[in-house]
């Protein structure tokens, strides 16, 4: 509704209902990532420590700074994508203030890729902290199994994770994710 819209600093028409829905979607996504990461840790025999739980439960908190872009029902321009790609840094700054250094580090690195083609720094392999690698896999599993406005049609989470093993994702953690997907609906 036009009455619920106003122009923001980027010149976008804001829809408050859409923003609230996007914030709620973000919370639901965070909770799903926590649950999936806990399952992955159990399979990998890695302790699910508090800093990993916090990182999973807040990894996209930086998106709140660019929520009007995240919730936009259209393709984003390259400049807009650059702003969205700042969200790991914004989240890490927020978490650094809590003193949870490993959580902040995992949030900063959750879009790095195993093959070094991710962001913000393009580090790869085991240079990416373990927590960030677990978070990255849990994030992808959650994203592939929840509805997204910008994604048309159905995706096959199992095929997507298998294809990403060793490219985007740590192959060992991706194997655990495949086991999880095959064992039960996530």
Question: Which residues would be at the binding site for Fe ion (CB under 5 A)?
Answer: 60
Q: Shortest distance, CB of residue 168 to Fe ion, whole angstroms?
A: 13
Cβ contacts of residue 39 below 8 Å, gap of 6+? 180, 186
Q: Shortest distance, CB of residue 85 to Fe ion, whole angstroms?
A: 9
Cβ closest to Fe ion, residue 60 vs residue 170: 60
Residue pair 114/128 in contact by the 8 Å Cβ criterion? yes
Closest chain position to Fe ion (CB): 60
Cβ closest to Fe ion, residue 58 vs residue 174: 58
Closest by CA position to 173, among listed 69, 79, 85, 42: 42
Cβ closest to Fe ion, residue 17 vs residue 146: 146
Q: Any idea what DSSP says for residue 62?
A: G
Q: Shortest distance, CB of residue 163 to Fe ion, whole angstroms?
A: 19
Token readout for 179 is 């086991």
Q: Shortest distance, CB of residue 43 to Fe ion, whole angstroms?
A: 23
Cβ closest to Fe ion, residue 78 vs residue 184: 78
Rg, the chain, Cα only: 17
Cβ closest to Fe ion, residue 19 vs residue 143: 143
Q: Shortest distance, CB of residue 87 to Fe ion, whole angstroms?
A: 6
């Amino acid at each position: 509704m036009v009455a619920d819209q106003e122009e923001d600093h980027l010149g976008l028409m804001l829809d408050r209902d859409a923003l609230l829905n996007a914030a709620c979607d973000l919370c639901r996504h965070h909770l799903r990532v926590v649950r999936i990461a806990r399952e992955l840790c159990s399979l990998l025999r890695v302790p699910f420590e508090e800093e990993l739980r916090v990182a999973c439960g807040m990894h996209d908190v930086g998106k709140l700074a660019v929520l009007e872009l995240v919730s936009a029902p259209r393709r984003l321009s390259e400049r807009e994508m650059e702003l969205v790609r700042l969200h790991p840094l914004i989240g890490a700054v927020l978490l650094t203030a809590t003193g949870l250094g490993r959580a902040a580090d995992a949030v900063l690195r959750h879009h790095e890729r195993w093959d070094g083609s991710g962001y913000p720094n393009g580090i790869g392999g085991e240079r990416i902290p373990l927590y960030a690698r677990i978070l990255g896999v849990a994030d992808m599993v959650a994203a592939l199994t929840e509805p997204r406005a910008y994604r048309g049609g159905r995706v096959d989470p199992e095929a997507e994770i298998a294809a990403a093993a060793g490219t985007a994702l740590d192959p060992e953690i991706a194997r655990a994710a495949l086991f999880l997907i095959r064992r039960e609906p996530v």
